[in-house]
Amino acid sequence: MHELLLSLEIAGACAVLLLVALVAVVLRRRRLTARLGTFDCSIRQTRGHRRRWALGVARYESDRLDWYRTFSLSPRPSCTYARRALDVTLFREAEGPELVAVQPGAMIVECRLTVDGSGQPVELAMSPDAYTGFASWLESAPPGQNVNVA
């Protein structure tokens, strides 16, 4: 009997911890999206041979784009891209397996990061309305910054 109660207490504690983590993720997302300049944005970067979409929220700052992973408790952005380093090379509608990996109706925006001349590719998936805002944000760069919007 004592072993059964101990097992139930452990299971209950795990359930409470899981619920607390879920509530923390939801509260973090609400806090992130409460500010102006945020939008749902999935990201796909090439790291080695792995190319998977990650769900998240992006937020415009004056000179950079911060991207926060959806299922994370970290208050810091997972990725930060300087506005002057982002070059849009192509935008298109999601197709094939991308349709189930990104939010419905998303556009895929293919960019090249031009930091140190490396030209690392990065893909962002966002709604057409969010792309309009993204393109406007890139084009409104201060004078002297070379910005390329496809």
> DSSP of 29-40, one letter per residue?
HHHHHTSTTEEE
Local mean pLDDT, 10-residue blocks, the chain (150 residues)? 78 88 79 79 77 90 90 85 89 89 91 77 93 90 62
Range of the domain at 132: 37-139
**pLDDT recorded at residue 150:** 57
Asked whether residue 49 is domain-assigned, the answer is yes
**pLDDT recorded at residue 9:** 85
**pLDDT recorded at residue 43:** 94
Going by C-alpha positions, the residue among 88, 89, 83 that lies closest to residue 144 is 83
9/52 same-domain check: no
**pLDDT recorded at residue 67:** 93
Number of separate domains in the chain: 2
69/114 same-domain check: yes
121/82 same-domain check: yes
Asked whether residue 144 is domain-assigned, the answer is no
21/55 same-domain check: no
54/27 same-domain check: no
Asked whether residue 132 is domain-assigned, the answer is yes
**pLDDT recorded at residue 123:** 93
Is residue 111 within 8 Å of 87, Cβ to Cβ?
yes
**pLDDT recorded at residue 29:** 76
**pLDDT recorded at residue 93:** 92
Asked whether residue 147 is domain-assigned, the answer is no
End-to-end CA, the chain: 68
Distance CA 39, CA 121 (A): 21
In degrees rounded to 5, what are phi and psi of residue 5? -65, -40
64/120 same-domain check: yes
